[in-house]
Structure 1
């Protein structure tokens, strides 16, 4: 038999372990094939539903998002938790990619989380391809959930890491190769396109517990619109530099965003997920990043809103700032005190915290409850607007999209087409930093593609050291002034692929030995 259960893994390295037995015609009761493991339609349905929760938890965990916020100079903290301290150093230091290191979960958590989700989604799609049907003619309905989780997981792997494995329901028993982030993103985009098309003409409504949205029960319309927004995000946020950003197909970003969660296909909505005290649903990113005893707001962001406030805390307490932007008062809190050990870096301290989602924060009476942001409608508006600006489209429309929050929440002077491309982009980037802060984790993604991050800041994360060790591959990393922030050398890539090939050959030898042992009766 061909055993496909290797596709459900907590880390991609499990592929190698499974590869040793994947092609053997040997009955293995501990690793049943997908048709038996997901032999009933109810099994398929339940696993499909579970992928939405596992993807959400990876998407909103404090690792890596808290570290990415601090290294992007948006949030700030000098505590040792969640990779905040050492990746907030100035000058920037390299990310310590060590399987025994204190910051190892910055890479391991998203890698394992997304591959766990991806494996379960692939299992569902394999079972359906093998003829398993969900009762009541709902196979396509629950296939759509697995397809969403698959596309979303691959998208985030491409946005976070420099390379990853691309595995789906068509992957065979051989160990896959690492693909660069651009290839992973292209694969994910193709899956978004397929899902969006498959939802045309459907009228599904899922149970409210599948994804508990403040906008109401998830249905075909919301899932299709969200998928369009996710595709627009993927295109816009994949670049690692301003030079890369100039090559984006911005007209395509417009085509997705205008059909997204604030587009022309329905009433504009925010994708807020209602927490249940963190029993099954809550954003740990919001839970900690709106907690003033854990995370503060980098003074660079405060300075952006109030140029009279210093861009860096120096140990002298600045007075409370003022700004024509009403959100400095509504969304941020001035404490007049700082947190953390000054010996670890005074510049990591700040008297400001983010309070917009304080209701969800760790010490709030309603911690882990209420509608925590996942993807705000404003994010889709700004993607749409940027697509129009970058593609030399309708600048008046772009200005109107920017003004929905710039004027609507900030009470600032409206942007206009007369601002021109440069002026509108400046207002748009400002809006993205202020309005989307502590929502979907875009802080580093937006900073790297516009070259607004400090010298030596990582532009993406390496494959976790633990994964590389299991695969017997060289360990590498990024970051640090004067060191690679996004690229590893061609010679290193060659060495990496050679090492992976050795691992494959070793697995082939193991399979041969297992076959021999089986044929001689030594293995049953």
Structure 2
């Protein structure tokens, strides 16, 4: 592969240090002063911590999240933004991966942003491996842990989203162009990084600096290790593209990770939630748009699971729910207009609300409309001024998600089904008011699927990842994203995509 192609691969992902560029006779316009920055321990610490923020903003961005969620039929909209219109068409059509297309950012945005975070993390880890010592109590370990977190989380993001990617770490030979590898290899690399972080943080007494990632729990090494265990469990579980792959998942390993995660034997439950700073550096478009009543609604396919009297598809008639799940209620007076329905939501505390009105142009697909709204995180959405978000929790992985991972792993490995039922009932009974689930594998797997959709909506892009591994997506839906069209053009590789005929 010649240097021109090598530049094409590496420049967008911002992975090269000046030293590597010099060896390859390649300039690095993205980081012209990187050698000087990496020579400063203080700057290395900043790079390691900033990589965590870069990963978080990539993982919670509206591209590709909103396209994934409407494809999974958990949210719905027919606006042309964020890939929500054409990837919500029925029957499903192929994802438009052409670089000049309106939906090009659905794949290119997470690709570019994730590799930006990965490149920064690798630079910090490379500097530490080269002998850089970060001042302060456990300064080097804390920086290494932040960079490892960003590295592992970025590789997880690539494994979950794309059919294949480049795996580049601080150990990569930068004199050679990286090669594309399938998502299973990317997953395995991510798990190695999660394992390294778990080993580094376990048994330690240091805490991250406040600006590393503002969590709702103390940023202790113990809590970082617990979060890493949960992230590893979901990486292993959610990478599966089909029911067949899901069956082949190492569920014993999933259980081993999850039982040391946000919840588990002998542990006090914690959430992996980030504190908003009012939209400056720490914010989540998942919650900003997912709970914005003027943009996104809940797909009736999900509502139908909560209230079977509601049709799976909206056909132009508003149907009020009849549900035993108290997380779903209706407003007393239908909300009117397309604005923020603050007045008609007065006194409503349920997660899901029947508003009685719909959004969007029915000519684009009346089935894309819905009178149902998710208001659980309304106070950190664009329905409320962003300045008022400061200090509020933005959920990414809830304790309930880890409970459901443990429960499913127990059900799939012939483990303690009574414990699995207890974990499911923590939300099913206490929040939903539903009857306790029976301690049988079939009943548990159905209840776990239900709770995962109902309880975890608008925390992360879980909908598509979860439905694809049980073959529950609509026929012809894409199950993963291709390498972005612009990258294929740069790399002189054939154009391809997924979905449709």
Matches within 5 A, 1:266-305: 266-305=267-306
Which residue of 2 is the match for residue 393 of structure 1? 415
- Of 390, 396, 399, the match for 1:374: 396
Shift of residue 194, structure 1, vs aligned partner: 1.5
Q: Is the 8 A contact 1:287 1:368 kept in 2?
A: no
Q: Is the 8 A contact 2:243 2:470 kept in 1?
A: yes
Shift of residue 476, structure 1, vs aligned partner: 0.7
Could you list the per-position Cα deviations for residues 112-135 of structure 1 after superposition, in whole angstroms to 9, with x for gaps in the alignment?
111000000000011111111101
Could you list the per-position Cα deviations for residues 333-364 of structure 1 after superposition, in whole angstroms to 9, with x for gaps in the alignment?
21111110010000000001100000011121
**Gapped regions of structure 1 (runs ≥ 5):** 1-5, 484-524
Residue 192 of structure 1: SS of its match in structure 2?
helix
Residue 212 of structure 1: SS of its match in structure 2?
coil
Change in Cα spacing, 1:135 to 1:7, as seen in structure 2 (3 Å) is: farther
For residues 35 and 429 of structure 1, the distance between their equivalents in structure 2, rounded to whole angstroms, comes to 49
Shift of residue 17, structure 1, vs aligned partner: 12
Residue 159 of structure 1: SS of its match in structure 2?
helix
For residues 351 and 26 of structure 2, the distance between their equivalents in structure 1, rounded to whole angstroms, comes to 61
For residues 285 and 129 of structure 1, the distance between their equivalents in structure 2, rounded to whole angstroms, comes to 35
Q: Is the 8 A contact 1:64 1:107 kept in 2?
A: yes
Shift of residue 295, structure 1, vs aligned partner: 0.4
- Of 370, 374, 377, the match for 1:354: 374
For residues 20 and 151 of structure 1, the distance between their equivalents in structure 2, rounded to whole angstroms, comes to 22
Could you list the per-position Cα deviations for residues 13-50 of structure 1 after superposition, in whole angstroms to 9, with x for gaps in the alignment?
x6799999542589999966865331011011111111
Change in Cα spacing, 1:237 to 1:25, as seen in structure 2 (3 Å) is: closer
Which residue of 1 is the match for residue 455 of structure 2? 435
Residue 374 of structure 1: SS of its match in structure 2?
strand
Matches within 5 A, 1:82-231: 82-136=82-136, 137-172=138-173, 173-215=175-217, 217-231=218-232
- Of 445, 449, 457, the match for 2:469: 449
Residue 274 of structure 2: SS of its match in structure 1?
strand
For residues 35 and 457 of structure 2, the distance between their equivalents in structure 1, rounded to whole angstroms, comes to 44
Could you list the per-position Cα deviations for residues 66-125 of structure 1 after superposition, in whole angstroms to 9, with x for gaps in the alignment?
110000000000000000000000000000001111111111111111100000000001
Shift of residue 230, structure 1, vs aligned partner: 0.4
Residue 474 of structure 2: SS of its match in structure 1?
coil
For residues 30 and 242 of structure 1, the distance between their equivalents in structure 2, rounded to whole angstroms, comes to 41
Change in Cα spacing, 1:311 to 1:25, as seen in structure 2 (3 Å) is: closer
For residues 466 and 472 of structure 1, the distance between their equivalents in structure 2, rounded to whole angstroms, comes to 10
Could you list the per-position Cα deviations for residues 179-210 of structure 1 after superposition, in whole angstroms to 9, with x for gaps in the alignment?
00001101111111121112122111122232
Paired residues in the alignment total 471
Residue 165 of structure 2: SS of its match in structure 1?
strand
Q: Is the 8 A contact 2:352 2:376 kept in 1?
A: yes
For residues 72 and 386 of structure 1, the distance between their equivalents in structure 2, rounded to whole angstroms, comes to 20
Q: Which has the larger radius of gyration?
A: 1
For residues 74 and 242 of structure 1, the distance between their equivalents in structure 2, rounded to whole angstroms, comes to 19
For residues 20 and 257 of structure 1, the distance between their equivalents in structure 2, rounded to whole angstroms, comes to 38
Question: Which deviates more, 443-452 or 193-202?
Answer: 193-202
Q: Is the 8 A contact 1:192 1:231 kept in 2?
A: yes
Which residue of 1 is the match for residue 495 of structure 2? 475
